Structures are given as C-alpha cells and as structure tokens.
Amino acid sequence: MGDRMTRVADARERTLTAPGIDGERVPMRDRSREEVDFCIVGAGAGGGTLGAKLAEAGFSVVIIDAGPHWDPTRDFVSDEAASHPLFWTDERISAGEHPIELGSNNSGRGVGGSTVHYSMIAMRAHPDDFRRRTILGEIAGAELRDWPLGYADLEPFYEEVEHDLQVAGPTFYPWGRRRKRYPQREHDLNACAKVLVEGCTKLGIPVAPAPIATLSAPHRGRSPCVYRGFCNYGCTTNAKSSVLVTYVPRAIRAGAEVRPGCMAARIEHDSRGLATGVLYFRADGAELHRQRARNVVVAGYAVETPRLLLGSASAMFPDGMANSSGCVGRCFMVHTGDQVFAKFPERINQYKAPPPGGAITEHFNRTIPGEAFVCGYTIEVVGPHVVDFASRMATSRGLWGASLRREMLDYNYWSGLGIVGEVLPRRDNRVELHHDERDRHGLPIPRVVFGYHGNDQAIVRHAVRQMTSILEAAGGRESWHADRTAHLLGGCRMGHDPHDSVVDADCRSHDVPNLWICDGSVFPTSAAVNPSLTIQAIASRTAARIRELAARRELSPHHGHAAPAARIHPAPRGTA
C-alpha cells in the first residue's frame, strides 16, 4: 500500500456545511489540513459521543465515517426496503459452528452509526455484570474476565448520557442499583407491551416500563415521539435520541469536523511506534487520503475495529496494531436475540410505536437458582415490520408461497417478545482478515467466526419457554420461535494486564499510547442488557479521562520530545 499515491485531502481550507437536524445546513470547520488532536474513526455511539465531548473540551477533532451524513428530515423514509442503506452491508464472511447474521440486526452505516436504527432501549449494566470472573470463577470453554472498571466508575457517566439523550423511563425502576429518576417520563404502552404486562402480571413476573432514549416530552427544538413506528428505519421526527441528532450536532457546534464517506484503510505510525494519523478512501475515489492526528481513536464497532487494527499491520507491528497480546479480534461476542411470536384474537398492530413498546422485564437477568446455567437474559417487546416479519416467518417456520401469504394476512394479530441474552466470551470466536477476499477498495474483508457456548444455548431454551408461557398467559396461540442474534461485542477487550487485553480502563491501547478504542469491542463480557448506553457511558468516561490526562500533561506520549503531540492542551475555546 505504501507505494500508492497519498495526498492531503484538500488543498485549500473551505467552509464546509453539514446537514442540521431540521433540514437546514449548519456551518462546519474544515480540518483536513490540520494535524488534529483526535481523529476518530466511526461516528456511532462510541465515536460520536466521544467526539462531541472532546470537541467541547477544546480539542480539535475530526470524525470520519464510511457512510453518509444523514439528513433526518429528507433521507429517512417510511419504507422498509428503501431503508437498507442504513445498515452495514459490506461484504463479510460469517463462519464457525453457528455463523451469525450481520447487517440490519447489528450494524449501522453512516453518521450516527447503529443508533440511527437501534431500538433505543437505554439500560444500564448492573454491578455484577462488571465482575463476571470474580462471581462465576473459571468456566470451561469460556474466557471470563472482570472489567477493569466497575459500576461505580460508570454511574456518573450513565447519568450524564441519560440526561443528554433525555431518556424516558419509569419513576421507579425495580432492577439494579437505586438510581436517580430518568430525565423524562415513560411512554405509554403499545399493544405488544400490553401483552407483556398482562402475561407477566398473570404469571407473577415483575414487569416495568422500559427506559427508552426517545423523547416523551418536547426538549429544546425536538418534538416528542408521535409513535410512527419506523424507529428501526431512521426517525424522521427527531424524537429518537440517536447520536445523529444529539452528539453529532454538538460536536459540529464545538468545532469538530464530521467527514462522511471515508473508509479508513489503515492507521499510520512513526518510527517510535506512535500513531500519526489515518489513511482513508473517499467513497468516490480509489486514492488514499491522509488525516494527520496526534491521537487516533478507533470506534468502528466489534467487526470493523479489529479489522482496521489487524489491517494496519506493519514491520513494527506484524500482528496488527495494539495486538502484542494477541487479543485483537478474539473473544468476539453477540447477544442472543431469540424471539417468540403468538397470534391474538384482537388486533395488535405490532408495527405501531417504538419497537420496545414501553415495557420490559429483567426478572431473569441473573443467575437463576436451580437452573443448569449461569447468567440470564432480559425480555423485551419486539415489533418487526411486514417484510422483516415475513422473512422471519419464512426462515423460522419454513413457510413460502401460498402458505406464507395466508399467514401474513394475519400480520396485525401477531405479537412478539424477544430477549437480550448473555453470551459467554470464547477465545475461538473471533474477527480476522480474510486471506484473499478483498473489498472494492482492495482491503481484506473480515471473517467472523462464531459458535455458542453450551451455556448460551441453555439460556435461550429457558427464555423461549418463559416467553411462550408469557404470551400464552396473555391469550396468545400458535406460538413459534425465531432464533436470532443482536449486538456485536468484544474483540478488543479492556483490562489491566497488557498481555491479556488490548486497552486499559480508559480505552487507551496498552501498546500504542496515542491509540484509543471506543466502542462495543472493548467489552470483556457481554451483560444481558442492550449495550448502547454502556458504550456511550464508556465514551463519556474516556472523554473525561482524556481531559484529566491532558490537564496533568500525561496525554502526550512523547516524553522529552519536542513533538507535535506536546502541543495538546485542553484550553476551552469558547464554543461549548
């Protein structure tokens, strides 16, 4: 790659504009010629949040993202099929004992990342989720590790992110550590959520309103949710607190440049082993561009982050950057996301309102006494739209043609539940570079190898039984089960030991002190809750730690060198 022509992206500084959230264009700094303090790869839950906080702290920031910068008022449509550009559908090879589906269920494309199409469930992990190894000990076939940080470390940042997103949640949430009230009140229930509440009430299972990162009351210029129901295909009303409408505008306002359509190719480093910037392809060209940076943050999620690190291998880092531990790409995890559907005598209209419906039960999110498995799962409401639902009918029940058509006529009478089930980390589950397949830029495509631990499957069996009985208690019939996965996690786990983890608790890589990783790939264990809030809390914490380190002059890795990085200073520049 080195012999290819590289150049600085733009010859002359221009004033850029970016889509605002109300259809207007907002002015944006052009930082392509600068050596910025931070170049962040990926503008999703991790990168977008971190970018906003760093820019507001006075650092110069460029966030590059492979996809487009969506204009929520124009680019999102009420059409499932037309919404496919929202998902990361680049070629990937899925392999292993249980190859997983990659795409609409777990990865997003474009500024805002997966938060543009996520279901907005904003849950905190529980104190025990951070200490799996201590609590459960060694489990054969799994590589459990404690997190290098605990719930108490993240709690203030959970609170901060919940406030920034204006999470609408219940006044009293029955599970987890006692907490402050959510910034906004819970939404009303849709019919699917009423099914969950009714079934759980009949069976004596505690159930509560779900915390959802969607406005239930006006906030600043954004209107509350109108229950349109296309949350998984991009929110046109800005009620959804995706990173696209929350942190990204803040980042731009604070002087960051968000550069869409840039596919990172490799991280460059100097002779001292410090990162110096990122080489990337523009979506429209074959030539490489360079963004110089004093720090590089990789926030590409659990497949693309290891891919970029592995793809940045060099003579100095033959196994890929930050990979002296051999952990990059290892212990890759998903969440089991199995769903059960049942038919009801009355209309449900499962597409209405945000898919989480408004109710949730974490009753089984614990090691259940008397069962042959450890850890647990959360039961949530799901509401797939027509095409999605039909494909599930086809793949799970083997319906096709006339029989599928007949069943789909009753689409409005089906109601479903789904789980977020904990998956144990296994060393063999991994992301690696394919040995000869290349994408359109000539970069090796990732190969994702996955297989369940026996414990994961035992959790799913228990969950399917519970969900079926809940649906039946509420009056549902003809239930069936669709196996599914959601959320990608791990691959660059955090830890104290440089030989056993990729980054430390601050998300700073052990090997390259000015290389950071800030996304779901740093999770050592998966925790049976939706991960986005935890990713964002970690990003906020990382931003706070970077400010602290900068204030103590410990950010610069160039001890004694008169190198550019020494110029990093967190002086506020009056634009917060």
Element (H, E) at 267: strand 262-269
The span of 118-126, 150-158, 195-203, 412-420 binding another protein (CB under 8 A) equals 195-203
3-class secondary-structure state, position 68: coil
Cβ atoms of 148 and 134 within 8 Å: the answer is no
The span of 151-159, 217-225, 360-368, 502-510 binding another protein (CB under 8 A) equals 217-225
Among 115, 232, 237, 536, binds another protein (CB under 8 A): 237
Task: Give the per-residue contact string, 135-174, with another protein (x = CB under 8 A; - = no).
Answer: ---------------------------------x-xxx--
Determine if residue 440 is left, alpha or beta; phi over 0 gives left, psi from -120 to 50 gives alpha, anything else beta: alpha
| Residue 183: Cβ within 10 Å count | 18
Among 134, 223, 395, 403, binds another protein (CB under 8 A): 223
Nearer to another protein, 68 or 475 (CB): 475
Question: With binding defined as CB under 8 A, does residue 572 bind another protein?
Answer: no
Question: With binding defined as CB under 8 A, does residue 239 bind another protein?
Answer: yes
Q: Where are the alpha helices (DSSP H) in 100-173?
A: 132-136, 151-165
Closest by Cα among 56, 536, 515, 69 to 297: 515
Nearest distance from residue 575's CB to another protein, in Å? 6
Among 49, 83, 119, 216, binds another protein (CB under 8 A): 216
Among 68, 451, 475, 564, binds another protein (CB under 8 A): 564
The span of 180-188, 364-372, 397-405, 445-453 binding another protein (CB under 8 A) equals 180-188
Among 51, 72, 113, 209, binds another protein (CB under 8 A): 209
Nearest distance from residue 453's CB to another protein, in Å? 36
d(CA 508, CA 517): 6
Nearer to another protein, 61 or 488 (CB): 61
Task: Give the per-residue contact string, 45-84, with another protein (x = CB under 8 A; - = no).
Answer: ---------------x------------------------
d(CA 99, CA 429): 10
Token pair for 306: 């290891």
Nearest distance from residue 419's CB to another protein, in Å? 20
Nearest distance from residue 536's CB to another protein, in Å? 20
Give the HSE-up count for residue 129: Cα atoms under 13 Å, Cβ half-sphere.
25
Question: With binding defined as CB under 8 A, does residue 6 bind another protein?
Answer: yes
Task: Name the one residue in this structure whose structure tokens are 């983890």.
Answer: 501
Bridge partners (DSSP) of residue 222 are 219
Token pair for 437: 């397949």
d(CA 301, CA 122): 18
Question: With binding defined as CB under 8 A, does residue 219 bind another protein?
Answer: yes
Nearer to another protein, 37 or 90 (CB): 37
Question: With binding defined as CB under 8 A, does residue 25 bind another protein?
Answer: yes
Closest by Cα among 326, 267, 263 to 38: 267
Interaction residues for another protein, span 285-314 (CB under 8 A):
290, 292
Token pair for 360: 């949730």
Question: With binding defined as CB under 8 A, does residue 265 bind another protein?
Answer: no
Question: With binding defined as CB under 8 A, does residue 326 bind another protein?
Answer: no
3-class secondary-structure state, position 432: strand
Nearer to another protein, 357 or 495 (CB): 357
d(CA 492, CA 553): 26
3-class secondary-structure state, position 26: strand
Nearest distance from residue 15's CB to another protein, in Å? 5
d(CA 85, CA 230): 15
Q: Quick one: angle between helices 532-551 and 45-56, nearest 10?
A: 30
Q: How open is the CA angle 117-122-125, to the nearest 5 degrees?
A: 125
Nearer to another protein, 201 or 349 (CB): 201
The span of 1-9, 117-125, 455-463, 478-486 binding another protein (CB under 8 A) equals 1-9
d(CA 413, CA 464): 20
Binding site for another protein (CB under 8 A): 5-8, 15, 17, 22-27, 29-30, 33-35, 60, 168, 170-172, 183-186, 188-189, 194, 197-198, 201, 207, 209, 216-219, 221, 223-224, 226, 237, 239, 255, 290, 292, 564, 567, 573, 575
